Chain A
Amino acid sequence: AQKVTQAQTEISVVEKEDVTLDCVYETRDTTYYLFWYKQPPSGELVFLIRRNSFDEQNEISGRYSWNFQKSTSSFNFTITASQVVDSAVYFCALSEAVYGFNKFYFGSGTKLNVKP
């Protein structure tokens, strides 16, 4: 079974539109961490944010905001006033401790196309 599901394979928006990328996760652990990464065309995954399972406060960083809801096992990512430079593949990931090892489970990614 998928640990992390990103149901949106690809999204296209016009610049300045707001866009939300969905992420649903599955875990039986009470302690876990959630991450978002951005993969631009260059290929490198860039770390964006980390949340722990005990902190459900929403977070805002500039045009980026994250909504973490344990009740629905979701950790959604919103970009406000999107820009062409936001075009990339975005990955959501769940991290659990497995026999002392920091195991990451990645979703399949959402490709965001922002058109001028």
Chain B
Amino acid sequence: DGGITQSPKYLFRKEGQNVTLSCEQNLNHDAMYWYRQDPGQGLRLIYYSQIVNDFQKGDIAEGYSVSREKKESFPLTVTSAQKNPTAFYLCASSNGMGSNQPQHFGDGTRLSIL
């Protein structure tokens, strides 16, 4: 079945450590996105990518980095510069960048601080 796979489901980070969240899609979508969700809040955009080897900062990119070397993959690294990384992270993709395209989401990764 086509979909978006995020791993791991749960992740723990030590102080000063970088961690990488995986996102893979087999929907053949060009556009991919990373969102952060905090309790009782909506989703906030971290980074997005419209095409391979290109990505743009979203609203809360500080302390995060991404790469887009393959169409199917858009990993997110939470760096030690992100002082409050505890959150639920959602990866999404869409078929093109038009505003009428729904975004499809993975199951998410829950990141906590040890």
Contacts and interface: CB of A to CB of B under 8 A. Distances in A.
Interface of A: 4, 9, 31-33, 35, 37, 42-47, 50, 52, 91, 95-97, 100-109
A91 B97 contact: no
A101 B97 contact: yes
Contacts of B108: 43-44
B99 A102 contact: yes
Interface stretch (B20-28, B35-43, B61-69): B35-43
Interface centre among A37, A91, A101 (most CB of B within 10 A): A101
Interface of B: 31, 40-43, 45, 48, 50, 56, 88, 90, 92, 94, 96-108, 110
Given A42-B107, A107-B42, A108-B41, A50 B102 contact: yes
A50 B104 CA distance: 13
A32 B107 contact: no
Given A42-B107, A101-B56, A96 B42 contact: no
Given A47-B104, A96-B99, A102 B43 contact: no
Contacts of A52: 100
Given A101-B50, A103-B45, 7 more contacts: A31-B99, A32-B99, A43-B110, A45-B105, A91-B43, A104-B45, A109-B41
A35 B107 CA distance: 19
A106 to B, nearest CB: 4
Contact of B100 (A46, A95, A109): A95
B109 to A, nearest CB: 9
A95 B100 CA distance: 7
B32 to A, nearest CB: 12
A52 B41 CA distance: 25
A18 B111 CA distance: 36
Contact of A102 (B41, B42, B90, B97): B97
B48 A101 contact: yes
A45 B42 contact: no
Contacts of A108: 40-42
Contacts of A97: 98-99
